[in-house]
């Protein structure tokens, strides 16, 4: 075990006047063990020491960073950085240590960031956010193009289809999500029917609650709720799975084997989502209508037969087709965003979490944005 006792020859400073100049002789060990004594000696010797003083380091003993810092304070960082010229007899390790400490002390202090937010800072922050959003959208469009290109190349070649992977992802994405989608849409259908009955009862039009539930779930709520649930459930799973593979360099191993990560990892997930979301949308529509049926039967005395008759008479098939037609678009966007965020993961667990969260936020945002655009388009077209 190394000894922690001070060395036997503590450092000293000797100032000797020589023909009007001052001759400084440094001797002994300049180490942390003698720091207090050396600090006092440096403070006493600093006043008479001039820039043209001669310095003798030939008797210098042990030296560490603390002692080198004191010598730099006494001699000056700029002069100590040239120690190899006026003290060439020192060992190479002493010269390197003194030069490094002098160079570190000679650097100007870093400017501290300004406190507070000014108008320029706010505009710069907005500019960076817009630039990041633009870069993100370009990456998404490029990845969509790459996915469609790979899909066009793979579909005419059945021997390259990943049927087993497609079936596994279809089960995880679609079949396992049926209970939660059915329960959620049933409850939302019941809530919509209850609110509609409460409001329409004031106008004596409680029977139109059936029309409200039918329009809401066939056109909007069925596909929207299913898409949001899959955005939080499957997009995050895609990002986490591919991100973990990226962090463990499994993606690089796939490329090394001559395989395409997009064909191997992205296409099965995208195709599974394209099949699962329309099916879940249909389930959500049925369960939402069932929730409205239960509320109408219990609170409005509308029998199930009358409920179904009103739906058949007043709700056109076009509303069902509009709602179901949006499902493949939402499915493709959700799957592509989840896979893209997985490929953007770095090499840390924190990066996996950040991009998984980003995939959910982006997917839900894009689903709501596309749904709003589709609603305005269909309204203008009269569909």
Q: Examine the pLDDT at 202 and tell me if it is beyond 50.
A: yes
Q: Examine the pLDDT at 121 and tell me if it is beyond 50.
A: yes
CB atoms within 10 A of CB 168: 13
* Residue of 242, 226, 238 whose CA lies nearest to 331: 226
Residue 30 inside a domain? The answer is: yes
Helix axes 65-75, 92-106, angle to 10 degrees: 60
CA dist 87 and 7 (Å) reads 24
Residue 83 inside a domain? The answer is: yes
Pair (226, 335) in one structural domain: yes
Give the pLDDT confidence of 245-259 residue by residue, as tens digits: 888 888 888 888 888
Give the pLDDT confidence of 136-151 residue by residue, as tens digits: 888 889 988 988 998 8
Q: What is the CATH number of the domain that holds 43?
A: 3.30.750
Pair (345, 266) in one structural domain: yes
* Residue of 142, 352, 148, 175 whose CA lies nearest to 267: 148
Pair (96, 160) in one structural domain: no
> 32-46, 202-216, 286-300: which has the minimum mean pLDDT?
32-46
Phi and psi (nearest 5°) for 297?
A: -70, -35
CB atoms within 10 A of CB 179: 10
In the numeric block, the tokens 């709003």 are attached to 372
Strands 21-30 vs 54-63: parallel, antiparallel or unpaired: parallel
CB atoms within 10 A of CB 13: 20
Residue 119 inside a domain? The answer is: no
Pair (51, 148) in one structural domain: no
CA dist 245 and 374 (Å) reads 36
Pair (211, 71) in one structural domain: no
Pair (78, 196) in one structural domain: no
> 88-92, 140-144, 325-329, 374-378: which has the minimum mean pLDDT?
88-92
CB atoms within 10 A of CB 369: 11
Structure confidence at residue 62 as a pLDDT band (50, 70, 90): confident
Contact 184, 229 (CB under 8 A): yes
Q: Examine the pLDDT at 285 and tell me if it is beyond 80.
A: yes
DSSP state of 195: H
22 conformational bin, left if phi > 0, alpha if psi -120 to 50, beta if neither: beta
CB atoms within 10 A of CB 235: 31
User: Which pLDDT does position 229 carry in this prediction?
Assistant: 92
User: Which pLDDT does position 6 carry in this prediction?
Assistant: 43
User: Which pLDDT does position 94 carry in this prediction?
Assistant: 77
Pair (148, 41) in one structural domain: no
User: Exposed, middle or buried: residue 217 (CB in 10 Å: 0-12, 13-18, 19+)?
Assistant: buried
Residue 135 inside a domain? The answer is: no
The C-alpha angle with vertex 365 and arms to 360 and 368, in degrees rounded to 5, equals 125
Residue 124 inside a domain? The answer is: no
* Residue of 191, 187, 180 whose CA lies nearest to 226: 180
Q: Examine the pLDDT at 5 and tell me if it is beyond 70.
A: no
User: Which pLDDT does position 61 carry in this prediction?
Assistant: 78
User: Which pLDDT does position 2 carry in this prediction?
Assistant: 42
Stretch 350-376: mean pLDDT = 89
Give the pLDDT confidence of 305-327 residue by residue, as tens digits: 998 998 888 888 888 999 899 99
Residue 114 inside a domain? The answer is: no
Look at the chain and report how many structural domains it folds into: 2
Stretch 27-46: mean pLDDT = 78
- What is the 3-state composition of the chain as percent helix, strand, coil, each rounded to the nearest 5? 75, 5, 20
Residues contacting 194, CB < 8 A, separation 6+:
295, 299
Q: Examine the pLDDT at 1 and tell me if it is beyond 50.
A: no
CA dist 33 and 67 (Å) reads 10
Contact 245, 251 (CB under 8 A): yes
Pair (315, 218) in one structural domain: yes
Domain finish residue from 105, 122, 154: 105
How would you list the strands of the sheet with 21-30, edge to edge?
Answer: 12-18, 21-30, 54-63
Strands 54-63 vs 12-18: parallel, antiparallel or unpaired: unpaired
Pair (172, 63) in one structural domain: no
Residue 136 inside a domain? The answer is: no
Domain that holds residue 234: 144-381
Pair (356, 234) in one structural domain: yes
Pair (93, 20) in one structural domain: yes
Give this prediction's pTM. 0.67
Residue 349 inside a domain? The answer is: yes
**What rounded mean pLDDT belongs to the chain?**
83
CB atoms within 10 A of CB 338: 32
Pair (91, 203) in one structural domain: no
């Amino acid at each position: 075990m190394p000894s922690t006792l001070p060395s036997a020859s503590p450092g000293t400073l000797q100032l000797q006047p020589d023909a009007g100049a001052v001759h400084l002789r440094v001797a002994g060990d300049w180490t942390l063990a003698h720091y207090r004594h050396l600090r006092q000696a440096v403070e006493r010797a600093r006043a008479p020491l001039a820039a043209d003083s001669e310095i003798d380091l030939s008797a210098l003993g042990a030296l560490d960073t603390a002692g080198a810092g004191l010598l730099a304070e006494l001699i000056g960082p700029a002069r100590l950085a040239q120690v190899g010229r006026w003290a060439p007899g020192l060992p190479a390790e002493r010269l390197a240590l003194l030069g490094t400490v002098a160079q570190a002390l000679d650097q100007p202090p870093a400017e501290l960031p300004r406190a507070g937010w000014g108008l320029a800072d706010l505009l710069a922050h907005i500019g960076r956010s817009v630039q990041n959003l633009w870069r993100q959208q370009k990456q998404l469009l490029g990845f969509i193009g790459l996915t469609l290109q790979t899909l066009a190349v793979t579909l005419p070649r059945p021997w390259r289809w990943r049927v087993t992977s497609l079936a596994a992802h279809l089960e995880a994405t679609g079949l396992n999500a049926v209970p939660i989608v059915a329960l959620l849409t049933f409850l939302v259908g019941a809530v919509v029917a209850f609110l509609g009955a409460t409001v329409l009862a004031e106008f004596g039009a409680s029977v139109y609650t059936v029309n409200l539930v039918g329009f809401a779930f066939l056109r909007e709520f069925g596909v929207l709720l299913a898409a949001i649930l899959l955005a939080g459930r499957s997009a995050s799973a895609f990002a986490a799975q591919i991100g973990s593979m990226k962090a463990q360099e499994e993606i690089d191993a796939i490329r090394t084997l001559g395989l395409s990560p997009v064909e191997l990892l992205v296409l099965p997930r995208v195709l599974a989502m394209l099949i699962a979301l329309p099916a879940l949308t249909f389930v959500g529509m049925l369960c939402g209508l069932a929730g409205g049926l239960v509320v109408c039967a219990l609170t409005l005395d509308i029998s199930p037969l009358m409920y179904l008759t009103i739906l058949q008479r007043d709700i056109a098939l076009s509303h069902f087709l509009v709602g179901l037609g949006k499902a493949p678009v939402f499915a493709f966007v959700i799957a592509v965003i989840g896979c893209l965020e997985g490929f953007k993961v770095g090499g840390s667990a924190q990066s996996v979490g950040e991009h998984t969260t980003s995939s959910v936020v982006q997917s839900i945002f894009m689903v709501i944005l596309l749904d709003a655009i589709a609603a305005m388009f269909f309204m203008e077209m009269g569909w």
